[in-house]
Structure 1
Amino acid sequence: GVGSVVFSPLFQGLLTNKYLKGIPEGSRASKADSYLQSTDITPEKIVKIKRLNEIAESRGQKMAQLALAWVLRDKRVTSVIIGASKVSQIEDAVGILDKMEFTTEELQLIEEILRD
């Protein structure tokens, strides 16, 4: 009967499409005093994120929406803390309500990507 609230479900922005083409100026990873450092964004992580992004696109979602829906699929998770800094990020987060369900194949592929 206990729920949980997930902090940083987008892994400081890594689970968005923001870092797929490098580190944008002004992003968290570009700042020296940030929790997310540029050294955290490894080529291996980018490969995984690109593969996850392909799944998101095939579902008609943004990468962040896929990540949030994946976290919220667990009925023990009652909420997520997204740390939005723009209205558009909140709108994107609410957009997951249109596509919360996953096929068995999608879940298997996501788990495979996460294990590799």
Structure 2
Amino acid sequence: MTDTERPGSTPGLPPTPPPYRPQLGPDLLPTNEAEALAIGRQHFPEVGSPDGPAELLVHEFDIGYLIQTGWPAPEDPNARPSEPGGTNIVISKIDGKVSFVPNFPPESAVELHHDLRNRKTS
């Protein structure tokens, strides 16, 4: 098929471009905690692996899912943590975008996510 034979083409004019399909959203938009956890696993080392988290925790909130890591307790309760700080992720229910937030308690991390999102939209 030549360009001028493409449906919608007119002889003597430039060829009609192929149909454009805009990306209307992500390939994977989580609809429940299990789907959010599957996306979250892609951003952390394997659970139980050396230097990996002991567990991944999912906290659902109004516009997303917060994925937090749980690390094993140190053998000495008075010792410093081997992994101080770190980040957690938020997966948007609206567009599936992944954002990184500090390793805060869930309420604080969600509040920070809301604050950052409101700054971007204002």
TM-score by length of 1: 0.23
Choose between structure 1 and 2: higher helix proportion: 1
Whose relative contact order is higher, 1 or 2, with alpha carbons under 8 Å and at least 6 apart?
Answer: 1
| Rg larger for | 2
Choose between structure 1 and 2: higher strand proportion: 2
TM-score by length of 2: 0.22
